[in-house]
Amino acid sequence: MIEEYINVHDKFSLEMKVGFTAQQQHKVNDFSVNMWVFIPSSLDINKNTYSKMDFYRDVKSNIRLITPIYLLEDIADPDSLPLKLMRESFEKISVNPSGNISDYEMHIKMFQSILKSSLRNEILRIKKSKSEKERKELISFYASNVARITEEYRKLGQIINIPSVERNVFNYYLFGDEFMSNVIELHTFKLLKSLDEDHDPLYEKCKKLLIDLINNEINYKRTVGYPLIEKESFSKNRDVVSRFSALKKYIESQLFLDVKTREDGTLVRQFYYSLAAGISMIFATIIAFSFQLKYGNFTLPLFIALVVGYMLKDRIKELFRYYFSHKLDSKYFDNKITVSINDILIGWCKESQSFVKDFQIPLKVKQLRDRSAILEAENRINDEKIILYKLRMQLDRKQINESNMYPVAGVNNILRFNVVHFIQKMDNPSVPLYVTDEKTDYKVIEGEKIYYLNFILQYQYLDQSELKKYRVAFNRDGIKNLERF
């Protein structure tokens, strides 16, 4: 199964999270994603101005495990797997402080990653609930479960808060504690904000419960000395943001996989490039032998023939290299990425990028693109440029199960697509517009010039295939909007 989530990450970047869920009944799971990017010709993006190197510089890819899914009430249960595994690792460290520290650290990171995901999912569950009574119960459960979780985690700290455990080892627990407090505070604020913005009648009824939950965490952080947000201190708040970002990267690092990237089909490419060199050498040798037989050694015609043969040899070699490279590009990908957990290979990912012509696009993709009449007319003069990005993922379900203690569904491939290259030849975002006016006869107002990137994604898994369309509105000031069709 393939799931995707696309949003605007920042002013000039899109984030595309594609989740590949490996089914238990299949040992090997093969996934395929094709993405067509339709680019206005006025942006002057083509294979001559926008190379593969430029594309892969703009596309940042991170491959990570899908966070194991738990309900918030399940995590709060002292016998839940995340708490149980973490407790066992704490007890082992307390008995043998120099023991498996990496295992102890891993369980802290996994617990906090699972908690963060569960908080997000619980808030979505509350927002989707149509019944006011049910939402109120869910909010009450949210607050009580969060309190139980923090209590259980902080009780574990007593196990390792002993003289035999080194301070740097105890710090791993504190990092998790501070991260937990931050994400609880952040997600509770988001829930409060959502109720307020939706004019939910529960905002007035539940705000005290949620604010008390937030204040409990703020008071706890003040007591133990964690950094706090202050209304009037820009520099301190900047440090808080920086620290929270560092903690987030530290905690979520457990989900990121070991990846090694290399060119796909390297040996085959080198063989064909050697073949191209051999063909050119045969041609040059035939010319040299022919002139040598006819004119003999150390003659002017042989000298000229050797020079011409050498000149043509290089051109022939490059011509055949280009021919073989073009043929191989249609068969092989640009990059092959091997994916591992603790040196256990769980799969691989291949990716490629190329410019394609309109006639090379499948009919269903063309129909979904749905160009307007004026755009079709313009396309006959200045054709829309089209990038095809192909991604293939293969996962070994058995290896995933054996390499992790947690119920991991598969992997996420998180792509960040930066559009800065696409804005370099845009017009000014502000355009003067003229309208009539009763007082001054006419008036100049400001209009905004917008460009559009259309994305069509095709997901294929087993016998299932699905097409989705997105459109990004942007200009020199950055991304303005993302539409889903």
pLDDT, one tens digit per residue, over 183-210 is 999 999 999 999 888 888 888 888 899 9
Proportion of the chain above pLDDT 70, given as a percent: 88
Alpha carbon 37 to its chain centroid, in Å, reads 17
Mean per-residue pLDDT, 112-131: 91
pLDDT, one tens digit per residue, over 387-406 is 999 999 889 888 888 888 88
Question: Where is pLDDT greater, at 259 or 89?
Answer: 89
Mean per-residue pLDDT, 249-277: 75
Mean per-residue pLDDT, 161-189: 91
Mean per-residue pLDDT, 262-274: 65
At 264, the pLDDT band (50, 70, 90 cuts) reads low
pLDDT, one tens digit per residue, over 137-157 is 999 999 999 999 999 999 998
At 465, the pLDDT band (50, 70, 90 cuts) reads confident
Q: What is the mean pLDDT of the chain?
A: 85
| CB crowding 13-37: b at 16 or more within 10 Å, else e | bbebbbbbbbeeeeeebebbbbbbb
At 269, the pLDDT band (50, 70, 90 cuts) reads low
